[in-house]
Structure 1
Amino acid sequence: MRDTCVLVKSSFSKTRTTTRTTRTTRTKSSSSSKEVSKSDILYAHVENAEHDSLGHPECAARIPAILEKLENDSEFFLERKKDQSIVLLENPPLATVEDLVPLDIHSQNYMKSLEFLAKTKAPCQIDASTYMTPSSFEAALASIGASNALVDAVLKGKTKTGFALVRPPGHHAVVKGPMGFCLFNTAAAAVRYAQTQYPNDIKKVLVYDFDVHHGNGTNDIFAKDPTVLFVSTHEDGSFPGTGKISDIGQDEGEGTNINVPLPTGAGEKSVLEAFDLVVEPAARRFQPDFIVVSAGYDAHWRDPLANLNFRSRTYHYLSSRLKKLSEDLCDGKIVFLLEGGYDLTGLPEGVAESFAALVGEKSLEQKDPGLFEEPFEKAKKVIQEVKSVHQLL
């Protein structure tokens, strides 16, 4: 039985068993160890196999399931790897605490306490939903290292799009603590890394979060920052219960947090309406220099942890729109970072759809899953209210 070492309190259900895979070692570095030619997608995968807890939905099987779908069940992926329009970033670097300090996304006390827990108390529960193993601290650093290496590649013009298949997720992690499976906020780190390492080129960043759960950590970290536009579409009332329309940012950042809480049961039609009427016009008004996507796939109808009804192809449509938006606004500079997605069929299907869209392939979905009709009229009312609050034309 696990010890409990409480830093903060939160709640999430545990529903899934897991399998273990071999751990990959990495070197600590601030940049990629391998130069690559320009590609449509440069992707990295960090499985973090030893960051695992029996029966927990955020399990070590998630990344292997995605890779199995891409490498063995997606013909376009293999073809694009052969012509090097899709390229793997091998042996992505491991970030260090010293790398994170100047990014100022988490308190130093929190980072030190997390490292101490990993060394002395793990395996343990940090809160009701977030676990810690002896490798978890390094796992979170590895995810940030890989993600920031992709930021480098995109901003240096080595690739059109970066896609980080990493875990644990990050968008719930707040300044002073973990939450909702998340230890460090990977998306916030990517934003600050881009702004601090490329200050002459990257001043304003758009973060779009399509995870089914509100990215409260990212929301709060940038709440007072007018240089970051955070836009989230999520299920109203789901964990962690934040992300209301009225949460618009604070002080100088007022108006740069845009939250679209979709009604339970909403699906493809609703989220695309939200994108077209809220996300895109807000982005065009903001004029970002770079786009970071918190790409969660748990709004899929198969996912056990929430109740939105996206189809697999919905992620194709979203990713295609995001790619076009990045090309129109910031010379195509965009990085996708994996967040949630806990069904081992829905998750890989959704990611494969995103990859297909980003290289101009058609949707892979062949069959309508026969979902119930979504509450589109309710969703439209929410979207219209968001438009009114944020004065979007």
Structure 2
Amino acid sequence: MQFGYSEVCLAHDPGSRHPETPDRLRAIRERLKRKHGVEYVEADPCDVEAITAVHDREYIESLEEFCADGGGEWDPDTTAVEATWDAVRRSAGLACWAVESALEGADGRKTPFSLGRPPGHHAVGDDAMGFCFVNNAAVAAQYALDHDNYDVDRVAIVDWDVHHGNGGQDIFYDRDDVFFVSVHEQGLYPGTGDVDETGEGDGDGMTMNLPMPAGTDDLEYLAAIGGPVTAALEGYDPDVVIVSAGFDAHRHDPISRIRLSTEAYALMTDRLRALANDTDAELAFVLEGGYGLDVLADSVALVHETFDGREPIEPGGELSDQAESALEDVLEAHGLDLDLDCF
């Protein structure tokens, strides 16, 4: 894979006790040293106009001023320092680079993965929250739509971070040019993402939430991706698929109760690669959460290995009654008729 990376993103340091630490990127880089075929690309900082295409201008100006004044606690979870503004722009720029590279033909072993931070999927149109200031995946989606030379009419964002991607939902909830999917732990921060939140107006049906019960494992997440998510996106036929790739649903991550193995990330990657191939869509990855440094690094490395030729190992077992019920609710909310046992 090609990994977008910048040392600028390390300068955003909310403090040694904060889980969203610069060591996240350092751990990934260290782990990837052992892998073949890893390439790094440094992207330009994102233009403010591209950011304000999805974020309120007054909010973005306030954020820039807040950082220039030395930063501090924007809210109890979301802390900035003076260097945060440059990291925010670079992180969004890396996400745009990933989508641009995909649209220009980077696939297979060249598939792009943006390793930016701070992450973005909790940032709503007019506010920061949950460690996030600018919604990187949303900026990248809009960037693709706004450039006529890419001929992009429909974008899909698939957010597999363990927390609901409330920011992407907020930004695109009433639009039909972005299909937003979030697979997340039910009831976890920020408490949004119920199955009946499916969009409104032009965006009716364009948001799919899959709130999964605590204890959900590999097989059940794969049923979600291979079942409702794939069926909905095959019908939508996106031009590009952006994966909001958080790794905090891992069973050894310190802040969630989903029970994914490292192998699950290879399997979900494989499913989404197949979806992109089947719909003739381009594919790009954007880093979100993941706070256990070893499992974060191992999981990102396994995503890379999947594109480098490694065959993922399929799990055995059966769906739990709780997970099957949760997925049946999703199918009903979106009018899909599928046999979950097939996935």
Cα contact 2:51–2:134 (8 A) shared by 1 = no
Task: Name the residue aligned to 1:287.
Answer: 237
Task: Name the residue aligned to 2:340.
Answer: none
Task: Name the residue aligned to 1:204.
Answer: 154
Match of 2:81 among 133, 158, 172: 133
Q: In structure 2, what is the Cα distance between the partners aligned to 1:189 and 1:374?
A: 38
Task: Output the amino acid matched with 1:66.
Answer: I
Aligned pairs (5 A) from 1:178-193? 178-193=128-143
Task: Name the residue aligned to 1:92.
Answer: 43
Task: Name the residue aligned to 1:42.
Answer: 2
Match of 2:183 among 204, 210, 233: 233
Task: Name the residue aligned to 2:257.
Answer: 307
Q: In structure 1, what is the Cα distance between the partners aligned to 2:213 and 2:49?
A: 42
Task: Name the residue aligned to 1:338.
Answer: 287
Question: What is the alpha-carbon root mean square deviation over aligned residues?
Answer: 1.8
Match of 1:319 among 269, 277, 280: 269
Q: In structure 1, what is the Cα distance between the partners aligned to 2:220 and 2:3?
A: 29
Gaps of 5+ in 2: 338-343
Q: Deviations over 1:49-98 (max 9, x none)?
A: 221112100001001101111113xxxx22xx2xxxx4321x32111313
Question: What TM-score does the superposition give when structure 2 sets the normalisation length?
Answer: 0.93
Deviation at 1:259, TM superposition (A): 0.4
Q: In structure 2, what is the Cα distance between the partners aligned to 1:340 and 1:330?
A: 28
Q: In structure 1, what is the Cα distance between the partners aligned to 2:50 and 2:141?
A: 14
Deviation at 1:201, TM superposition (A): 1.7
Task: Name the residue aligned to 1:149.
Answer: 97
Deviation at 1:121, TM superposition (A): 3.8
Deviation at 1:364, TM superposition (A): 9.1
Task: Name the residue aligned to 1:268.
Answer: 218
Deviation at 1:352, TM superposition (A): 1.1
Q: What secondary structure, in the 3-state scheme, does the structure 1 residue paired with 2:43 have?
A: coil
Task: Name the residue aligned to 1:65.
Answer: 27
Deviation at 1:265, TM superposition (A): 0.9
Cα contact 2:50–2:139 (8 A) shared by 1 = no
Cα contact 1:70–1:352 (8 A) shared by 2 = yes
Pair 1:360–1:256, CA change in 2 (3 A): same
Deviation at 1:358, TM superposition (A): 2.1
Cα contact 2:138–2:171 (8 A) shared by 1 = yes
Q: Deviations over 1:339-372 (max 9, x none)?
A: 000001110111111111123213499xx9xxxx
Q: In structure 2, what is the Cα distance between the partners aligned to 1:364 and 1:341?
A: 22
1:392 aligns with 2:340: no
Q: In structure 1, what is the Cα distance between the partners aligned to 2:56 and 2:174?
A: 17
Cα contact 1:210–1:233 (8 A) shared by 2 = yes
Q: What secondary structure, in the 3-state scheme, does the structure 2 residue paired with 1:292 have?
A: strand
Structure 1 residues 313-322 or 45-54, which shifts more?
A: 45-54
User: Size of the alignment, in residue pairs?
Assistant: 332
Task: Name the residue aligned to 1:352.
Answer: 301
Cα contact 1:224–1:252 (8 A) shared by 2 = yes
Deviation at 1:42, TM superposition (A): 2.1
Gaps of 5+ in 1: 1-40
Pair 1:57–1:200, CA change in 2 (3 A): closer
Match of 1:169 among 119, 126, 145: 119
Task: Output the amino acid matched with 1:341.
Answer: G
Q: In structure 1, what is the Cα distance between the partners aligned to 2:149 and 2:192?
A: 32
Q: Deviations over 1:215-267 (max 9, x none)?
A: 00001101001111111110000000000001000111010100010001111
Q: In structure 2, what is the Cα distance between the partners aligned to 1:271 and 1:261?
A: 11
Cα contact 2:154–2:238 (8 A) shared by 1 = yes
Structure 1 residues 355-364 or 253-262, which shifts more?
A: 355-364
Q: Deviations over 1:270-298 (max 9, x none)?
A: 10111122110011111111100000000
Q: Deviations over 1:28-65 (max 9, x none)?
A: xxxxxxxxxxxxx3221235222111210000100110
Task: Name the residue aligned to 1:54.
Answer: 16
Q: What secondary structure, in the 3-state scheme, does the structure 2 residue paired with 1:126 have?
A: strand
Q: What secondary structure, in the 3-state scheme, does the structure 2 residue paired with 1:334 have?
A: strand
Task: Output the amino acid matched with 1:165.
Answer: L
Q: In structure 2, what is the Cα distance between the partners aligned to 1:65 and 1:200?
A: 34
Deviation at 1:176, TM superposition (A): 0.6
Pair 1:174–1:251, CA change in 2 (3 A): same
Q: In structure 2, what is the Cα distance between the partners aligned to 1:199 and 1:241?
A: 39
Task: Name the residue aligned to 1:361.
Answer: 310
Task: Output the amino acid matched with 2:3.
Answer: Y
Task: Output the amino acid matched with 1:167.
Answer: R
Radius of gyration: which is bigger? 1
Task: Name the residue aligned to 2:165.
Answer: 215
Task: Name the residue aligned to 1:108.
Answer: 57
Pair 1:270–1:156, CA change in 2 (3 A): same
Cα contact 1:356–1:363 (8 A) shared by 2 = no
Q: What secondary structure, in the 3-state scheme, does the structure 2 residue paired with 1:54 have?
A: coil
Question: What TM-score does the superposition give when structure 1 sets the normalisation length?
Answer: 0.81
